[in-house]
Chain A
Amino acid sequence: MPATIVQTNTTPFAKIDIDPVTLDIIENALRNARIEMDATLVRTAMSPGIREQGDAFPLIADHTGKMIVGQFGSFIGGFLDGFDGTLEDGDMIFLSDPYSCDGAISHSNDWLILLPIFKDGRLIAYTAMFGHMSDIGGKVVGSMPINARSIFEEGVRIPPVKIWKKGEYNDDLMKLVMHQTRKPDWCQADLNALIASCRVAARRVVEMAERFGDDVYVSATQELLARNHRAMKALIGMAIAEEPVSFEDYICDDGMGYGPYKIKCTMWREGEKVVLDFSGTDPQSVASINFFLNENMFKMFFGIYMIMVFDPQILFNDGFYDLIDVRIPEGSLLKPKFPAALSGRTHALGRIFDILGGLLGQKTPEFLNAAGFSSSPHLFYSGNDKKGEWFQLFQIGFGGIPGRPLGDGPDGHSLWPGFTNVPNEFLERYFPLMIERYETEPDSGGAGLHRGGNGIRMTYRFLSPGTISIHDDRWFVPPWGVNGGEPGQRARKILEKADGSEIIVGNKVEDVEVAEGDQLHFITWGGGGWGDPLDRDPALVGKEITQGLVSAEGAKAYGVVANDNGVVDGAATEALRSSMKASRGALSLFNYGPGIDALRASCEAETGLAAPIQPVWQTAEAAE
């Protein structure tokens, strides 16, 4: 039963012809309102995850729930269809259960605020924002147990409820929710920040409607959607072929010893529509790496990638949604059945972008980027410090950005929008640890005419005993290179005990105990390379040796012979390059490395970790 929207004024909005100038002004004003939402959030949030790293996402939608500005597209339509209640002036919805909103948020750590905006008794718009809470209770610190077998192990799960009901705050509800988390102070501040941001946007929308008139405002939002529809239609016609193309990639493992998990997507055009079909994707995991992918969100990802790859001038909104048909098999890794665990969805979320890049670029290699989005490396460290006080750290790390048509991939930068690293001096001031090393990992970026960005080697020295958890991927299946570029190096985690002994740690582990003085080397993946590495200027390779970005040994991947001071031996380089050219086969569009079987065979020797075991499913429903 769909939501009942209670309006005291049921006069429909009149459709008004909007001149192009007014339209652009309203679009611009909406964009500014969105920027204001971000600014308000960063200033008032408290957890490092949101305030320093920016893990939160705003949107402003029209009166039917279609996103006009934002990043991840709108879930509101689907939410309203499933919400069995009323929505009226003074209400504000609060939720965190992915299964209650079609995966608009994809794990329970993301708390979402949805505010319907009423003006003079009529629903005129929606605004929403969600942000990642550092802890929502459950069995592990940080509330993302990699080994959870159902969502019930992943902390408090909030169905759509009214945090404000007709202007009245539901204090009891919030007491109940905050009682579940290990960090109620952070959660309360972050939630306040989400609410304040939505209220700012609501004020701006009402001001705009006052300035232009309600009918003009609403008509303008419809025209903005239509304009985007027209632009995307033209773009799709130009860039997407009717002949199907497929791309597949893997999540390395599920943290329980099984993997890799395949994600496959096939794309083709039928008339003006694009079909994106995930048939062939592996079934859901018994662990928490499942990613409940909202179809609309994927449409938005697709749209944004199309725009960024082919024509960055276009501003995106939900207008093009009916041009795209997303098909995700039920019970697959991307559409798991309740109550599958979801907290570890970040790897599949990242991998989706690699897949999109591979899909969109393969018919137009000049626009193709290598792989590197891949994941969002997490570290948790918690315990009691020497004064006996509880601490818990949740950090998001960064890998390398892939080689691009534009040039090299930046080293150790964020592929997620708006994210920044946390200053190490801040970490050392507020947590019992020292960061002994924070440098890029030489040679980790895939060789290419345009080098993939290096990953980061971050060395934590723990000053209090405690436990750590790690969530990372791309440790088994490397990020691929394109147009002749080599794959990037894989992620590694090494625990160096105070006595100097080293333990290779898995990339998805929970509750590893660390002692005072232990060091953790947290090494992330490099981006894949772009273009033929033998075409890269040897002098540049030599320079990067002096910069500590490439080693003399690593230079050989470019066919460059140089010493540790970056001095290139011209003759030897020429000889090496011609022999490499002669012995290698034709360059492939994609370079995935040696393939799953070979990776498995050499896994233990190369990574120090046992190869993941091929998962077996009782029902092969999602198989091809």
Chain B
Amino acid sequence: MGYRLGVDVGGTFTDLLLFNGDTGAFWRHKTPSTPHDSSEGILNGVNAICADARINANEIEFFLHGTTVATNAVLEGKGARVGLITTEGYRHIMQIARSFVPGGLAAWIIWPKPQPLAALEDTVTIKGRMNAAGEEVRPIDDEDIKGALTTLKAQGVEAITVSLINAYTNGAHEKRVGELARGIMQDVPISLSHEVLPEMQEYERTLTTVANAAVRPVVGKYVSNLREKLAIAGMAGKLSLLRSDGGLMSAQKAEEQPVNILMSGPAGGVTGALWVGKNAGIKNILTLDVGGTSTDVALIENLEPRRQRTTEVGHLSVRASALDVKTVGAGGGSIAYVPELTKALRVGPQSAGAVPGPVAYGKGGELPTVTDANVVLGYLPENLLGGSFKLDREGAKKAVQTIADALGIDLMAAARGIIDIVNENMFGALRMISVQQGYDPRHFALMGFGGAGPLHVNAVARLMGSWPAISPVSPGVLCALGDATTRMRTETARSYSKLASQTKADDLIALLDEMATQTRGELMADGVPEADIVSEFEVDVRYAGQAFEVPLTITPDVLRNDGIEGILKRFDEEHLRLFTFNMETPHEIVNLRAVALGKALDLPAIELPKGDGNPIAAKMRDHTLWMDGKEQPAVIYDRSKLRQGDVIPGPAIVVEMDSTTLIETGCVAKVDAVGNILISLA
């Protein structure tokens, strides 16, 4: 196995992690992102990291990449101009959406309604109708369709999407529109809803199809540009992108179905956490990825991250599988303020971002942020990024003092208050994905990463009762690590919607087989050898009439042996666990899903030299910080000098190039064999 390079492009930094698949040795590098053309920053990073590892770029076999290019295209409305063809009577499908106004009573007064992803003037309708049973009620008319296409062509749309009512039960009408479209607009990509998402619910299916079409050209341009630049650098390895669900897909496939990489960015951290967990022997993990403006959290049970059927991007909820990552507007740059009327202390969701940034960064920020509070309290010592820039502690103090004055408390109490509130916001997000889904957080470890995760992980673990709190190796580039260490994946889903009592096991098995063939074929087309492919299946079950389905893993063999009854029994158990009751209502089998996975890589982590438990060799200096209501002596350690088995009593701070780990009073940290810092109650 050769070199694998993981690359994660963030808003501020591009992180790279070069992994030697044979030895487990790795190199990391951080370089400023270049938003006008990300490939420049990537190329800088590739050159630097290759030099560091003393290899040529052509030795890199796999280039594995998490990117927010699709996400940003949606959020910033920079996608392609999409023409939408839908059924007569449904022209305003994207305008009405689900009629939902977020917020509570009277929130409509202040809700800015987003513009539809396919403009209304580029939405046209055609005659013809299928019913819910997939039978044609009224035929389509070729001339009518050609008229619609001609209109869209004249308007200059850059992509065509076709989403007709009930197409999920019968795609024949959509297919014909697709054929005619290819005749009229040869160069324009065409997406049909029953191919992109053969599922019930017209708005969601249409939105997903439109979103896919809107980001396609952007992703296509991005990938070809990146390919070119990398070729110039001499890299000829295989280029893959990280999917929202944590698997990899070839860059070529991502160009066709970019809807699957909408949440590629946050997925990297979770897959990185998986790799760390595997090597640290910890199977149940809650992840805490703290960035500048927001924090992402996810749940991993038995080394399997929870997934969900929807991808949330901004205000849009697209039907594509994604890791179940919840985001809160709480990060290092979150601004603290005290509203005039209530005199309450609020932190976020407004953020100082990268510019002007926290006051302590000295880039013109004036409002107190979470980072400033960390600096004031002494949790962030003044040599961030290996000492390359100095933190302005006095400026931070001045800013946090404004909060202290507004609340009538002293500076340190205000700073700690800001930290407590932001920790509480993270705690709230973690509860949503754990307690609220029926998981007991005390059975999970909490892993903090991203620039600021290791600063907060100890305190949040205390709130959750999730021990140990983990500061993984290279927490600042864990996303890139995740990109480098995950496996190929693809999946397909079908609406089924039949009562269990009317379903035969054999029918399900036949369908699952068919879906397996389809997904395995996709991976093989991406160059994965057939022998390496593993298929997995899921079936969604609910009590007929419920809106919420419980996904259950299944195999054709189990289905053959236990029958439908076996599935229902497991559903009842799961429902009882989640909601504390069962019902006598008949069961409905809602959806089927097949997943095909490439080979799981056995990438080792490199062991640290064994120490004697005493971290003194890594000690940089004595320090004071403010904790538990008083000033306390603490020690600062250099992470790169720690050895396995070192035991660090809190309060202490461990610094490295791109991250800082805080160990609180009453806690003790232990360095494991591969360099992860595991913090527990003393």
Contact = CB atoms under 8 A, between A and B. Distances in A.
B93 A438 contact: yes
Given A305-B106, A417-B104, A547-B121, A425 B201 contact: yes
Given A308-B106, A410-B101, A423-B203, A39 B545 contact: no
Interface residues on B, range: 35 or more
- Which residue of B92, B203, B345 has the most chain A CB atoms within 10 A of its CB atom? B92
Interface stretch (B417-425, B485-493, B597-605): B417-425
Given A24-B346, A189-B585, A548-B91, A410 B546 contact: no
B60 to A, nearest CB: 45
Contacts of A176: none
Interface in A189-221: 189, 192, 196, 199
Given A25-B420, A305-B106, A425-B168, A438 B95 contact: no
Nearest to A404: B109
Interface in B554-613: 578-581, 583, 585
Q: Chain A interface: which size bin? A: 35 or more
B91 A414 contact: no
Q: Which of B95, B110, B581 has the most CB of A within 10 A?
A: B95
A240 to B, nearest CB: 15
B105 A301 contact: yes
A415 B98 CA distance: 13
Interface string B415-451: 0110011001100100110011000000000000000
Contact of A308 (B109, B202, B432, B581): B109
A456 interface: yes
Interface in A382-426: 398, 401, 404, 406-421, 423-426
Interface in B133-148: 137
A420 B112 contact: no
A27 B347 CA distance: 13
A406 B109 contact: yes
Contacts of B101: 401, 410, 413-415, 417
B546 A188 contact: no
A426 B547 CA distance: 11
**Cβ-closest 9 pairs across A and B:** A43-B548, A437-B89, A21-B417, A547-B120, A51-B547, A231-B341, A46-B545, A308-B106, A428-B132
Nearest to A32: B428
Nearest to B129: A434
Give the interface centre of B200, B431, B436 by most chain A CB atoms within 10 Å. Answer: B436
Contact of B547 (A43, A188, A413, A549): A43
Given A420-B98, A425-B201, A186 B107 contact: no
A405 to B, nearest CB: 8
Interface string A544-585: 001111000000000000000000000000000000000000
B345 A24 contact: yes
Interface in A31-61: 32, 35-36, 39-40, 42-47, 51-52
11 contacts: A46-B546, A51-B545, A230-B341, A304-B106, A406-B111, A412-B99, A415-B101, A429-B132, A435-B89, A438-B93, A439-B89
B585 A428 contact: no
A16 interface: no
Interface stretch (A274-282, A311-319, A331-339): A311-319
B343 interface: yes
Contacts of A42: 547-548
B96 interface: yes
B89 A353 contact: no
A235 interface: yes
Given A20-B417, A21-B345, A29-B428, 10 more contacts: A46-B543, A47-B545, A185-B545, A196-B580, A196-B581, A312-B110, A411-B92, A425-B165, A437-B89, A549-B120
Nearest to B580: A196
Interface of A: 19-21, 23-25, 27-29, 32, 35-36, 39-40, 42-47, 51-52, 71-72, 185-186, 188-189, 192, 196, 199, 227-228, 230-231, 234-235, 301, 304-305, 308-309, 311-315, 353, 369, 398, 401, 404, 406-421, 423-426, 428-429, 434-440, 456, 459, 543, 546-549
Contact of B89 (A20, A227, A234, A459): A459
Nearest to B166: A425
Nearest to B113: A410
B341 A313 contact: yes
Nearest to B110: A312
Contact of B546 (A23, A43, A313): A43
A51 B546 contact: yes
Contact residues of B: prevailing secondary structure: loop
Contacts of A35: 432
Contacts of B342: 227-228, 230-231, 313-315
B354 interface: no
A483 to B, nearest CB: 15
Contacts of A227: 342-344
B339 interface: yes
Nearest to A42: B547
Nearest to A188: B583
Contacts of A410: 101, 108, 111, 113
Contacts of A369: 109
Contacts of A45: 546-547
A76 B424 CA distance: 30
A189 B100 contact: no
B484 interface: no
B90 interface: yes
A28 B425 contact: yes
B310 interface: no
Nearest to B344: A24
B347 to A, nearest CB: 9
A423 B121 contact: no
Contacts of A404: 108-109
A51 B546 CA distance: 7
A199 B585 CA distance: 22
A193 to B, nearest CB: 8
A423 B202 contact: yes
Contacts of A546: 120-121
A450 to B, nearest CB: 12
B546 A420 contact: no
A434 B343 contact: no
B314 interface: no
B360 to A, nearest CB: 21
A39 B121 CA distance: 36
A189 B96 contact: no
Contacts of B110: 308, 312, 406
A205 to B, nearest CB: 14
